[in-house]
Amino acid sequence: MKAAVIGLGVEGKKATNSLLKHDWEVYATDLNININLDDLSISLKGLDTSLLKDNVSFTRGKLSIDLGFNDQEKVDSSDAVVLSPSIWGSKLAEHYKNSGKLLCDVKTDHRNMFTIGVTGTNGKTTTVTMIKEILENAGKKVLVGGNAGGGFEGYYDLILEADPNEYDVLLVEVCDMTVGFCSHCFDFDLIALTNMGNDHMNVHGSMEGYKNSLKGFFKDKTIFINENQEFKEEFKEVSKLAIEYDETNYDLNLFGRFNKLNAGLSETIAKYIDENTFEIDENIIKNTLEKFEPVKGRLEVLKLNDCEIYIGKSDNSDAIKPLLEEVDFTAIFVGTPRHNENHRFDILNEVVDANPEAIILFPGLEDTLDQAKFRLNSLDYDGRVEIANNLDEIIAFVAEFSHDPAILIGGNGQETIIKIQDRLRQICDSCNN
């Protein structure tokens, strides 16, 4: 089988790797020549695209790549086409959707599986992992993945891996920017909404735009929504069935009301499945959630000297606000967003409102430290502002504040935050021992 991958962003590269893993021949193309190909599973040793100005073509085993142009004949001769979810709704996407050559329309086993989708702004990965562990502890085989930002292999890996004879449940983390793509690719039996927040407004345009995309996603589906969810009545009107959830009453190892809500959503879904699909003992639900450990990169609390260090990705203002409402932090470390994500600098508005003694900025997704400093100046923050350019400098500032009651390390840059977590965990374990 031959596949054409159009666009080598995060999802495109993950799709390329998955196709190669499943022994497909792959033609991958991107109009941008400045693509980082380090994430590809095939060796590209000796290839230096930085020396090429216009375009480049090369072949490695079953992979052929064109950068700077598309070879339409190769695309048209493929058995299946892979498009980036980010261009869903474009004329190009409509063309291949109507042609029936999209990979999800060529490989369709995934549509024959009991499928749960989890979407929302914050808490998706934690909720997906909770549901997965509940189902697995109930003896079910779960194929899980989806949103590449959640640390998974991507949507296309699910499509290629799906086998109704091997798995009982397909569990998909759905990024709020890809609900249209996922509506077409997957046949959801249940859809869960964690929350709606101030993120990806460069795509949605407004909360109204975000709401309308969700209404299309929820149409004629069984949905799970927070009992206090904004636009709840509108979501109920378009859905087949709307089930409300609230915070769990179980004792968790996780901090924060937001995690109580994630667990409450997972609990409600598990009990619904127990009543309608297959048996899940309530003790399994309770024990799973009470023993659940934080997902890597998400919020956990470490103890160093006299200080509790709250650390985890909180990459939008609605993610960081609940933390600031529950804990008084002496210092707050904030990872910076990409250059084009101005809405994510709203995190600093919430941080300044909390008025910590110090704000330490570090490069998160990109080095936008100057933009962050400009935002702090415009907010008239009169506390101490520091810059930590690398991991060692971050650790030095943590040591300085390690005798204060609590500090927070959050913001953007999941990979960076995981590195900080790993280093701090080593230090904390060493000191505590």
With beta carbons less than 8 A apart as the criterion, state whether 202 and 340 touch: yes
Domain identity same for 53 and 66: yes
Plot region of 205 (φ>0 → left; ψ -120 to 50 → alpha; else → beta): left
Domain identity same for 17 and 73: yes
pLDDT at 430: 86
pLDDT at 286: 98
Domain identity same for 341 and 227: no
Plot region of 175 (φ>0 → left; ψ -120 to 50 → alpha; else → beta): beta
CB burial readout 102-115, b (16+ within 10 A) else e: bbbbebebbbebbb
With beta carbons less than 8 A apart as the criterion, state whether 410 and 312 touch: yes
pLDDT at 85: 85
User: For the domain that residue 276 is a member of, what is the CATH number?
Assistant: 3.40.1190.10
Among 105, 135, 162, which residue terminates a domain? 105
Domain identity same for 195 and 251: yes
Domain identity same for 310 and 346: yes
pLDDT at 170: 97
pLDDT at 44: 64
Domain identity same for 63 and 201: no
Domain identity same for 336 and 383: yes
pLDDT at 214: 95
Domain count, the chain: 3
| Closest by CA position to 273, among listed 262, 284, 289, 260 | 284
Q: How many whole angstroms separate alpha carbon 19 and alpha carbon 75?
A: 15
Among 248, 269, 291, which residue terminates a domain? 291
With beta carbons less than 8 A apart as the criterion, state whether 303 and 428 touch: yes
User: For the domain that residue 316 is a member of, what is the CATH number?
Assistant: 3.90.190.20
Q: Which residues does 118 contact at the CB level (< 8 Å), separation at least 6?
A: 124, 127, 128, 131, 171, 172, 173, 174, 191, 192, 194
Domain identity same for 267 and 227: yes
78-89 pLDDT, tens digit each = 999 999 888 888
With beta carbons less than 8 A apart as the criterion, state whether 269 and 116 touch: yes
CB burial readout 311-321, b (16+ within 10 A) else e: bbbbbbbbbbb
* Angle at which helices 317-326 and 346-354 cross, to 10°: 10
Domain identity same for 328 and 259: no
Residues of the chain with pLDDT under 50: none
To the nearest whole number, what is the mean pLDDT of the chain? 92
Among 105, 123, 158, which residue terminates a domain? 105
With beta carbons less than 8 A apart as the criterion, state whether 120 and 200 touch: no
11-63 pLDDT, tens digit each = 898 899 999 999 999 999 998 888 888 888 877 665 555 555 678 888 888 99
User: For the domain that residue 9 is a member of, what is the CATH number?
Assistant: 3.40.50.720
Domain identity same for 251 and 400: no
Range of the domain at 365: 300-432
pLDDT at 264: 98
In the chain, the amino acid numbered 316 is N
pLDDT at 149: 60
pLDDT at 32: 87
Q: How many whole angstroms separate alpha carbon 6 and alpha carbon 8?
A: 7
Q: Which helix (H) or strand (E) holds 67?
A: strand 63-67
**Whole-model pTM?**
0.89
Domain identity same for 146 and 184: yes
| Closest by CA position to 120, among listed 196, 48, 186 | 196
> Which three-class secondary structure state does DSSP give residue 332?
strand
Domain identity same for 38 and 87: yes
Residue showing tokens 């609900």: 179
pLDDT at 48: 53
Q: Two tokens at 231? A: 């636009």
